Amino acid sequence: MVFVLLGSGFYFGKCFLFKPKVKNIILMIGDGMGPQQIALAMQYAKQAPHSTVSDRTLNLEKLSKDSYVGLMTTYTYENLVTDSAASATQLSTGKMSRSEIIGIDFEGNPQEVLVEKAKKIKMATGLVTNTRVTHATPAAFAAHVQHRGMENDIATQLLELQPDIMLGGGLRHFLPQSLEGFEEDMPSHLRLKSKRKDDLNLLKQAKSLGYDLTFSKQDLQASTSNKILGLFATSEHPDAIEIHAHANDTTYPTPNLKEMTQKALDVLSKNKNGFFLMVEGGQIDYAGHYNDAGWLLHEMLDFDEAIGAVYEWTKNRKDTLVIITADHETGGFGFSYSKNDIPEPKPLPGKAFEGSLFSPLYNFGNIEVLDQIYTQKKSFATIFDEFDALPENQQRPSALQSLFNEASEFKISLEQAKSVLMKEPNMYYRKGHKYLDQKEWPVICDFKEFFTYGDYTRLNLLARAIAKDQQVVWATGTHTSTAVAVIAWGPKAVREQFSGIHHSTQIGQLIGAQLR
């Protein structure tokens, strides 16, 4: 038996009698970020001829050098595959849950979530996301509802619990259904729309609770409050392709994930009792659902910039635990070798190939593809938003071809555009279903059961149209059961507990043990 005396506990083998504690906990979740998504960002950083990543090293890589790295399975009770709600609930409660449930275990009982635990011991708390603050992942750390779609109830519960910092999108769930009088009070970049079915004015309520309301990057940076509700978009934030296009525009109103994370750290660190902060890179998942490699790369780099902010804040500290993980993998992304455009044989300078040519049997992918993926000007979703906004008589294959080819280094033909727009009877039609209540469906010829989001399937078809040129393959339009990475940085006695292979409930229990 090994006996080691630690500053904060006695250690016998692998069993802590007194668990070592940290002052601050930062949980960073790349929604949909499997090992493949991490590899995409790392390959771009290291291999792209014109990589924009400083020193060709991701912040994730820098932080991981002094971390314990493990794997996490994400399955839920009685199911093979998770959604974000169940997975985040398991991370937040340490209990098994079911799909689409928020803050409730598999038996239907509400469980204490991490923000509740942290507040109980007088820690400051924060939630940061580039989706909606009421979306499944942030909600699972501060709310309890039967279904993730109950975002109006989630918004109400957020204000009941009162995390000190809430930054993201989702304004529509805080506005009363009657919007009279809001036009003159709100910034022009916000589209005023309410999703509520009542006249509760949660902004007014938040203000009465002491929140400083911020609706732009400029508002956020100017705030001196220790309690901030920042709602920067009606729904989710603009995608990271647009965010990066405005990186040097000081007048651009939407903060990026790094800027929100920095503000949260500045405010929460004032609490003498420490803090719990959850930061979500939520649109990694969106890009994965739509099989959009260019969008995915930009979201990964945006998340990595937020990791950089955390790394700079923590690197000289000994009182903080940082955990970087995912709730699941989305899309089944990967580069793959193919029989398309096989390279010509060529000589190599080494002795082993004297008198011979290097002749690969297949195309294993040219690294210049990484630059081409990065230079995508618009996400597939934005392209189709523009297409669908055209007058109906202009929504033709030629218009789609033009919109796409203007935005992408990878071009589609008119015939491919026609195929993307083709429809067939929906063999999985379900009346009243949020997505399946469509009599017609885009034509997808294989694994069609796994492309579940109606007309959004057109985006997946765009990905297939350029797959051979991108060297990219996708398995699905939904989630996979792929185990995800867990990267734990902090005091050795704490971070080493996260090494190895765990289930999401076990990771949740380890985090929860720090909040007692």
Strand-by-strand arrangement of the 228-231 sheet: 212-214, 228-231, 165-169, 124-132, 275-281, 24-30, 320-325, 484-489, 68-73, 500-503
The Cα–Cα gap between 476 and 136 comes to: 21
Q: Are 278 and 221 in contact (CB under 8 A)?
A: no
The Cα–Cα gap between 199 and 229 comes to: 20
Q: Are 146 and 183 in contact (CB under 8 A)?
A: no
The Cα–Cα gap between 354 and 328 comes to: 48
Q: Does residue 84 carry a catalytic annotation? A: yes
The Cα–Cα gap between 424 and 403 comes to: 24
* Cα-based distances in Å from 414 to 405, 419, 463: 11, 9, 15
Backbone dihedral region for residue 46 (phi beyond 0: left; psi -120 to 50: alpha; all else: beta): alpha
A 10 A CB-CB count for 27 gives 22
* Cα-based distances in Å from 176 to 127, 131, 358: 23, 20, 67
Residue for token pair 């523009």: 386
The Cα–Cα gap between 317 and 336 comes to: 41
Catalytic residue among 64, 67, 84, 419: 84
- What is the residue type of 220? L
Q: Are 476 and 451 in contact (CB under 8 A)?
A: yes
- For 399-422, the three-class secondary structure string (H helix, E strand, C coil) is HHHHHHHHHCCCCCCHHHHHHHHC
Q: How much of the chain is in helix, strand and coil states, percent to nearest 5?
A: 40, 20, 45
Q: Are 189 and 253 in contact (CB under 8 A)?
A: yes
- Structure tokens belonging to residue 475: 């398995």
Task: Identify which of 467, 453, 298, 290 has the alpha carbon closest to the alpha carbon of residue 383.
Answer: 290
Helix locations, 35-83, DSSP H: 35-47, 59-64
The Cα–Cα gap between 125 and 207 comes to: 18
Query: Which residues are tagged catalytic?
Result: 84
